[in-house]
Amino acid sequence: MSDERVIDPEGAYIWDGWGTCLSWWANTGLGARDDLAAALFGLDTARVTTSGREIELPGLGLNIVRYNLGACTWTGGSAMVESPAIVRRKQIETYYDGERWNWSADPNQRSMLAKARDAGADTFEMFSVSPPWWMTVNGNPSGAEQGEQDNLEFQYQDAFARFIAAVARRARDDWGIRFSSVEPFNEPSLTAWHARQNQEGCHFTLGAQEAVIECLRRALDEHGLGDVLIAASDECRYMDAVDTWQKLTEGARRLVGRVNVHAYEPDEKGRSRTKLREAVGEETPIWQSEYAEGEPDGLAMALSISRDIRYLRAAGWVCWQPVEALDWGLLDGEYDDRTPNPTGGAPGTLKGEVGGVNTKYHVLAQYSRHIRPGMRILKSGHTNTVAAHDPSAGRLVLVTVNGGRKRTVTYDLRSLTEGANAARVWVTDTIDAPAARRYARRPDADSQGGLLTVVHESNTVTTMEVDGV
């Protein structure tokens, strides 16, 4: 099979970057590992210990880091209520228990936050999954008794906003971390957040969201953080985000500097993504701020990236947990979640190990190592190809995922160049076979008169770099 893809610079937009959330994996001893920081946030080849042996991995160069602001505590006399289903790894320690500040809390996440910065990450966002337990209606940071009920006590709406602003100010002044954005909600419209959930969570009605957004803008400004934007509302699905955005008051929408949304709605034809972009408009940026699934090969992930860029025109793309069990991570995580919840004091360091590397680690490398922050995203003429241009380097990057039969693709670059430029090529096979390629350099491909022709084998992700464009 063969087809043609016309690369068009009209309507190009700026790419913010690739990222990951910290949260559960960094809440364990993995948060102290330099090798993971190098692999995830650096661009050099990293030596990572997996299952007791060292392997070499290409650094992903993730530049966006989302830090999870915690809601739990284990100080003496705490009246916090724990869900019977939650495990310690999914409980993040808060800095304020209602009586005193504890800035030594959450050491593992903060450790990885600093390591990510030192490895090259430059864009930081703080997000809240639940208000601190003592601000909730039932004292349980997993949610209200019923999932459709708000769990932030009405009287603490302003205190919640001030808590977020205080931590952001502390991070800037004492941690050397400047959060460029804060997100006060996580999937707020879901009714899944209830007292028996296996993680932190909180339902927010629309009115509660509007009130917190207004309080948060005021609190950030009062803390000297006028340059920190508010992201909202981090809904689970694209159509949830459409509904929330359209129902927010105009005043609340003006206070939102970026719309965040998760990619848990397949939306194979891109209709929901297109509706969200149309609802938000072109002036407000959108990030896909959380993506995960349990398929280790990376094919579904690559297709989702392509749709987010083509239809949503996302300026940033973030994976949920890079180290997770059951093939949900880029790296396979091994955790002892059978350990009972701690009582009567703070727990020790939680154990976490890296058991192996999923193919989707290398698939993400095909994108993140080549499409870098500040590049311009162009129209590619096809859903499964992402095109980006670096004006300063005169470089064009094309990344194509092919989940079907072998095909020959001609890329029409004549709107950018009519020269005969060689294309450097890398490929990852999403199949698991003895000779499968993992971010492997392939022979260069030649273009003639601005036409670049490349053969894509089935179940592959291919990256092409063309200079002199």
Annotated catalytic residue within 187, 200, 210, 214: 187
- Start-to-end CA distance of the chain, whole Å, equals 28
Other CB atoms within 10 Å distance of the CB of residue 379: 17
Query: How open is the CA angle 199-356-293, to the nearest 5 degrees?
Result: 45
Other CB atoms within 10 Å distance of the CB of residue 407: 15
In three state form, how does the secondary structure of the chain look? CEEEEECEEEEEEECCEEEEECHHHHCCHHHHCHHHHHHHHCCCEEEEEECCEEEEEECCCCCEEEEEECCECCCCCCCCCCCCCCCHHHCCECCECCCCECCCCCHHHHHHHHHHHHHCCCEEEEEECCCCHHHECCCCCCCECCCCCCCECHHHHHHHHHHHHHHHHHHHHHHCCCEEEEECCCCCCCCCCECCCCCCCCCCCHHHHHHHHHHHHHHHHHCCCCCCEEEEEEECCHHHHHHHHHHCCHHHHHHEEEEEEECCCCCCCCHHHHHHHHHHCCCCCEEEEEECCCCCCCHHHHHHHHHHHHHHCCCEEEECCCEECCCCCCEEEEECCCCCCCCCCCCCCCCEEEEEECHHHHHHHHHHCCCCCCCEEEECCCCCEEEEEECCCCEEEEEEEECCCCEEEEEECCCCCCCCCEEEEEEEECCCCCCCCCCEEEEEEEEECCEEEEEECCCEEEEEEEECC
> Does 56 qualify as catalytic in the annotation?
no
> Does 290 qualify as catalytic in the annotation?
yes
User: Among candidates 87, 86, 92, which has minimal Cα distance to 70?
Assistant: 92
440 Cα distance to chain centroid: 25
The token pair at 133 is 């337990």
Annotated catalytic residue within 82, 93, 290, 324: 290
Q: Please state, in angstroms and rounded to a whole number, the distance separating the CA atoms of residues 261 and 224.
A: 27
Residues labelled as active-site residues: 187, 290
